[in-house]
A and B are shown apart, each in its own frame.
Chain A
Amino acid sequence: EAQVTQNPRYLITVTGKKLTVTCSQNMNHEYMSWYRQDPGLGLRQIYYSMNVEVTDKGDVPEGYKVSRKEKRNFPLILESPSPNQTSLYFCASRGTGIGNYGYTFGSGTRLTVV
């Protein structure tokens, strides 16, 4: 089954403790992206990647890092989480060929930073 898999689904952590949220897709998609969803703000893009070793900032990149060492994986790294990063996070991927309009989203990771 074609899918984007995020882990963990839920995470509670303390301020300053480094964490990584993993994202993996099995569709050989070139493009991958991270979003955060906050009440009243909708979804905002954090980082995106056009292909292996190619990443760039989205609208709200502060406090986050990403890497794209393999095509299928796009982890989101919070080096020193803070309470304002408490949010619902989604990873998404998309092919770049003609007709590839659809984005596939993961099921989300609900992060709480205390």
Chain B
Amino acid sequence: GNSVTQMEGPVTLSEEAFLTINCTYTATGYPSLFWYVQYPGEGLQLLLKATKADDKGSNKGFEATYRKETTSFHLEKGSVQVSDSAVYFCALRGRAGYALNFGKGTSLLVTP
């Protein structure tokens, strides 16, 4: 079945540091890939997505590239801010269905 594995946190960075959160997946066919962000006390918000191999999703300075050869969708940001502190979830949706399969989430704390 489909599954997502992402690096465990918490990740603590200083403001303006470079961020990478690793995400790899297992799926049949060609899934769509997503990063969701959950700010404290809130629901999940779509951060970015990619629907086919080599697509790059980007939003708010975050980027992730759909790498089919390595089955990965790593999240990156060149310079994090305190306001980026949140939990980040990698997810996939198989072509045949509508359910999202989530990773376990990575907590990010950015300190001033």
Cβ of A61 under 8 Å from chain B: no
Q: What total of A-B pairs shows CB separation below 8 Å?
A: 49
Q: Are B98 and A31 in contact (CB under 8 A)?
A: yes
B45 is contacted by which of A33, A45, A105 (Cβ under 8 Å)? A105
Q: Does B43 lie within 8 Å of A106, measured CB to CB?
A: yes
The segment from A14-22, A36-44, A62-70, A71-79 that touches chain B is A36-44
CB of B99 within 8 A of chain A? yes
Q: Is the CB of B45 within 8 A of A96?
A: no
Q: How many residues of A contact B (CB 8 A)?
A: 24
Docked-complex contact A42 and B44, CB < 8 angstroms = no
A interface with B by C-beta (< 8 Å): 4, 31, 33, 35, 40-45, 48, 50, 58, 90, 92, 94, 96, 101-103, 105-108
